[in-house]
Amino acid sequence: MATHMTNSTTNHKSIKMKQYIFIIFLFIFYSCNSQNVSPQKKVYDKLFEKVSNKGKWGKKDKRGTVNYIDKSKILNALKLPKKGITVSLSFNITQDSTEINHSDFDEFTKYNHQASSVEFKGYDWASDNYSISYHGFTVSHMDGLAHLAQDGKLYNGYDASKITPQGFEELGVEAFSDGIISKGVLIDIPLLYGKEYLDAGTKVTKTDILKFEEKYNVKIEKGDVVLVRTGRWSEKSIKGDSDYSKVSAGVDYKIASLLDERQVSVLGSDGTNDAQPSGIPEEGSPVHKLTLVSMGMPLLDNLNLERISKEAKKQNKWEFFISVQPLRFKGGTGSPVNAIALF
C-alpha cells in the first residue's frame, strides 16, 4: 500500500511539473509573438473587435450596415434633389480599365468585349458579350461582403470556404438586389486643403473629415453613403498613370471608429479606399478588412468623383440623393456599378 501511494504521489508531481513547464512554454511563446507584433497591428486588432457587427442583425444577416437604411431614410433622401441634375459616379469600362489595373485578379479574367451583327427572321440584329475582372484598381465597382475574409470567416461568421466556380453559396452580392438608395455625402479633402489632389500615400483621417463637415456645413448621419475624394483622377490627368497598388492616397484605417459611431451604410472613394502603404506592416488592406469583414459594410472602389466634385462646388451642396445598383450575380463577390447622384 505504501509503495502504491508513493508511486501515485510521484506520478502526480510529475504531471504537475509537466503542466507547469507547458504553461511556462506557452507564456514564453506568446510573449515572443506579442513582441513581434507591431504597435499599429495591436491598435488595428482592438479596433476590429470594437466595430464588429457580428450578430447585430441576427445570425443569418447578409446585408450588414446597409440595414441602417430604413424606409424613412430613403424617403428623406428623395427630398434632397432640387435641380434635377444627375451625375454618374463611374467610368466607362474599356480595354484600358484592365491594362493599367495592377491587379492579380487580371489573370482570372481580363476584359473582353465582343460585338457582332446577325440576321434573324429578316431583321439585322446586333449583340455583344462581356467578360471582365472588375476587382482591382481601375474599374468602378462595389465590393460585396464575400470579397474578403479573415481567418477563414466572412462577415457575420459565414464560412469563406463555401465557394464554388459559380460563386459563394452564401453572402453573395444578390443580398443587395433591391439596390442601395440613400443620402450621399461627398467628403472632398483636396478641396478642403486647396489642392488638386492629395499626395500619393496620404491618409485621410477622422480629423480631416470633421474639419470638412464643419467648414462646408455637412453632417454624416445614420445610413449615409460616404464618398471620400482624394483627387486620384486629377493626379492621373496631370502626372500620368502610376502603380496605385504600391503608393496611393486613401483613408486611414482608424476612421472605422467614426464610420461605426455615425452608423454609415457604405464607404466609397476614387481609389480603393485603403491608402498604400497601409501603415500596418502586417495588414495590406486594413480598411477593407475592417469594413467588409468586421462591420459588414460594402465598399465602392475607383469611383469617378471629379464631376460630382465640380457639381457640388457649383451647387454649394455636398449631400445628395444616391442610387447604387449592383448586378444580380448570385454568389458574386461584388459587381461593376454605375452609381448615380441626383441634385
Q: Which triple of cell numbers denotes residue 222?
A: 445614420
Compute the distance between CA of residue 85 and CA of residue 138 in angstroms, rounded to an integer. Answer: 26
Q: Are residues 20 and 70 in the same domain?
A: no
Query: Which residue's C-alpha cell is 504521489?
Result: 9
Q: Are residues 337 and 270 in the same domain?
A: yes
pLDDT at 107 over 60: no
Is 278 a member of any domain? yes
Is 181 a member of any domain? yes
Tell me if 109 sits within 8 A of 79, measured CB to CB.
no
Q: Are residues 24 and 72 in the same domain?
A: no
**Residues linked to residue 280 through DSSP beta bridges, in sequence order:** 283
What is the reported pLDDT for 23?
54
Q: What is the pLDDT of residues 25-42, one digit of tens each?
A: 444 444 445 568 999 999
Is 187 a member of any domain? yes
What is the reported pLDDT for 64?
98
Whichever domain contains 283, its CATH number is 3.50.30.50
Q: Count the neighbouring beta carbons within 10 Å of the beta carbon of residue 254.
A: 18
Q: Are residues 227 and 106 in the same domain?
A: yes
Is 130 a member of any domain? no
Q: Are residues 231 and 314 in the same domain?
A: yes
Three-state secondary structure call for residue 335: strand
Compute the distance between CA of residue 22 and CA of residue 12 in angstroms, rounded to an integer. Answer: 15
pLDDT at 67 over 70: yes
Q: Are residues 3 and 100 in the same domain?
A: no
Residue type, 76: N
The sign one gets for the Cα dihedral 87, 92, 97, 103 is: positive
Residue spans of alpha helices (H) in the chain: 2-36, 39-50, 71-78, 95-99, 189-192, 206-216, 232-239, 256-262, 286-288, 306-315
Q: Are residues 51 and 191 in the same domain?
A: yes
Q: Mean of the pLDDT values across residues 270-285? A: 95
Compute the distance between CA of residue 41 and CA of residue 306 in angstroms, rounded to an integer. Answer: 34
Angle ∠(242,244,250) on CA atoms, nearest 5: 135
Q: Are residues 218 and 301 in the same domain?
A: yes
Is 117 a member of any domain? no
pLDDT at 7 over 70: no
Whose CA is closest to 301, among 110, 77, 133?
A: 133
Is 132 a member of any domain? no
Q: Are residues 18 and 92 in the same domain?
A: no
- What percentage of the chain has pLDDT greater than the value 70? 85
What is the reported pLDDT for 28?
47
CB-based contacts of 152-160 (< 8 A; 24+ apart in sequence): 153/293, 154/293, 155/53, 155/54, 155/64, 155/292, 155/293, 155/294, 155/295, 155/296, 156/53, 156/54, 156/55, 156/59, 156/61, 156/62, 156/64, 156/296, 157/54, 157/55, 157/59, 158/62
Is 71 a member of any domain? yes
Q: Are residues 29 and 142 in the same domain?
A: no
Burial grade of 32 (CB within 10 A; 0-12, 13-18, 19 or more):
exposed
Is 182 a member of any domain? yes
Please give the tally of structural domains in the chain. Answer: 2
Minimum mean pLDDT range among 26-35, 42-51, 67-76, 218-227 = 26-35
Q: Are residues 1 and 106 in the same domain?
A: no
Domain extent, residue 1, equals: 1-36
Biggest distance spanned by C-alpha atoms of the chain: 107
- What percentage of the chain has pLDDT greater than the value 90? 74
In sequence order, the 6+-apart residues with CB closer than 8 A to the CB of 173 are 142, 144, 146, 326, 327, 328, 329, 332, 333, 334, 335
Q: Are residues 211 and 260 in the same domain?
A: yes
Q: What is the pLDDT of residues 292-334, one digit of tens each?
A: 999 999 999 999 999 999 999 999 999 999 999 999 999 999 9
pLDDT band at 5 (very low <50, low <70, confident <90, very high): very low
Compute the distance between CA of residue 150 and CA of residue 36 in angstroms, rounded to an integer. Answer: 20
pTM reported for the whole predicted model: 0.87
| Residues 223/304/272/183 CA torsion (nearest 10 deg) | 0
Q: What is the pLDDT of residues 127-137, one digit of tens each?
A: 988 888 888 88
